[in-house]
Structure 1
């Protein structure tokens, strides 16, 4: 049984919410453009190359460089599949179907990342676990960097 309590004048305060006009919404979109997820994946690959170079220079072992780059790719490749899967057929789906698609592709992304990391000892000769972990961590931190970097800055590059 649901009942409604009477609303006092104090509780029925006028809201400060004012909807945006079409022009205001357009200016807001222009001021804060949407960042493409492909920038994040590109940053993951670029940082993977950078970490691989640092690992090679630091250890003088090609296996460390390959391990670091493989670790970054174990994050970037599933992320690219996730973006492609989620962005396919966006328009005609209901909200629940969009959320289901998001969660299914997120599970695929996590599962593929775990599978790639589990396969690393068989795929990389002379694996360096520390370099592989560094590649994974640096690639995953690119999600945070993307939140901090303004989209307008990336659009100027």
Structure 2
């Protein structure tokens, strides 16, 4: 009978071995320099920027069309992004979420589910809350606020 290799041995190759040998842990100073060079983006900064962008989109909608319904619809579209994003930011920045890597992963999945559920519920309630509702304006507000995440990534690179 031949002895079966462990699963990790089956997939291991020379490049993996070389990569493992070349990895050197960072010193405290090197880690600090890396954090300063590439700082993390606060989720609250992203939420605040989304609020500002949502207000601008709603104001531009009202100025271009002269209809308040367009502004309210765009503002509600922004809220569909901001409210769930703020809930997730609150959940992910709590002490419980950062206790251990496992807790962080479960917390992330839980808050992501909450974020999606709240977004879907808000979209389903939109026709009852905003009257008259302009779906195109709502979608413009929603999409523009979602794209703020890319702006946050651009800030991080500076």
TM-score normalized with structure 2 length: 0.84
Alignment of 1:53 onto 2:56: no
Q: 1:30 to 1:94 in 2, by over 3 A?
A: closer
Where has structure 1 moved over 6 Å in runs of 4 or more? 9-12
Q: Deviations over 1:64-115 (max 9, x none)?
A: 0000011001110111011111221247733222211110110000110111
CA contact (8 A) 2:91 2:97 kept: no
Alignment of 1:113 onto 2:84: no
- How far off is 1:16 after superposition? 3.3
More helix by share: 2
CA contact (8 A) 2:98 2:104 kept: no
Structure 2: gaps spanning 5 or more residues: none
**Aligned partner (choices 43, 56, 71) of residue 37 of structure 1:** 43
TM-score normalized with structure 1 length: 0.84
Backbone CA RMSD of aligned residues:
2.6
Q: 1:94 to 1:71 in 2, by over 3 A?
A: same
Partner residue, 1:144? 150
Q: How many residues align?
A: 151
Q: Deviations over 1:2-33 (max 9, x none)?
A: 2669xxx9996584333221111111112222
Aligned mates of 2:128, 2:138 — CA distance in 1: 14
